[in-house]
Amino acid sequence: MGDTDEAVEDIEETAEEEALEAGRIRKKIFGPPLIKILIWVAAAMVLIFISGTVAYIVAQKVGKPPRTERTSPELTEKAKPLAYFDLSDFSVNTSDTDDPHFLKLTIQLGYDEGNMELQTELVKRRAELRDIIISVVGAKKYNDLNTQEKREILKGEIKNRVNSILIADKIKKVVFTEFVLT
């Protein structure tokens, strides 16, 4: 019986050694080097996914024409030239109270060429038109007139006020032929 017990102990020790050796092998296979490789593969897949998404978005934007698509000059209808009614020079003080400013400007009102009825009305209402322009411009401060965008807004205001009193037709455009702000 002693031999059997020793044999059983040897088998158990051998089994334990094999289990320990299998654990070492498992640690070697699934240890830090494998984890590093898996992390690199996962990072590469994430980068491939991100670059694929960016490429798709760029391809979608490149394939579409811009929202404000320009047409070729040959395809656009050219607007008929306008006739202009000259209101002469204006010299107006701005409404700044702390630091007074002076504005000298010349305005012309554009309307459809050949519209004799509107031309006659503009001639008859010259004094009213000049008063409207002096009122609109005189209510402005220096900061309301010192950029091109603000001057375009002023043109729109003048056009709306002038058109509000006209009966025969409407003016199409307000043009500053001189604009000096000091």
The burial of 19, by beta-carbon neighbours within 10 Å (0-12 exposed, 13-18 middle, 19 or more buried), is given as exposed
CATH number, position 90? 3.30.479.30
Instruction: Categorize the per-residue pLDDT at 161 as very low, low, confident or very high, splitting at 50, 70 and 90.
Output: very high
Per-residue DSSP letter, 162: H
Q: What is the chain's mean pLDDT, rounded? A: 82
Structural domain count, the chain: 2
Q: How many helices (H) and strands (E) does the chain have?
A: 5, 3
Q: Are residues 50 and 102 in the same domain?
A: no
Question: How far is it, in rounded angstroms, from Cα 164 to Cα 149?
Answer: 23
Are residues 15 and 43 both part of a single domain? yes
Q: Are residues 174 and 89 in the same domain?
A: yes
Q: How far apart are CA 129 and CA 117, in angstroms?
A: 16
Name the pLDDT band for 76 (thresholds 50, 70, 90). Answer: low
Residue-wise pLDDT tens digits, 100-137: 888 899 999 999 988 899 999 999 999 999 999 999 98
Reported pTM: 0.56
The domain of 23 spans 2-63
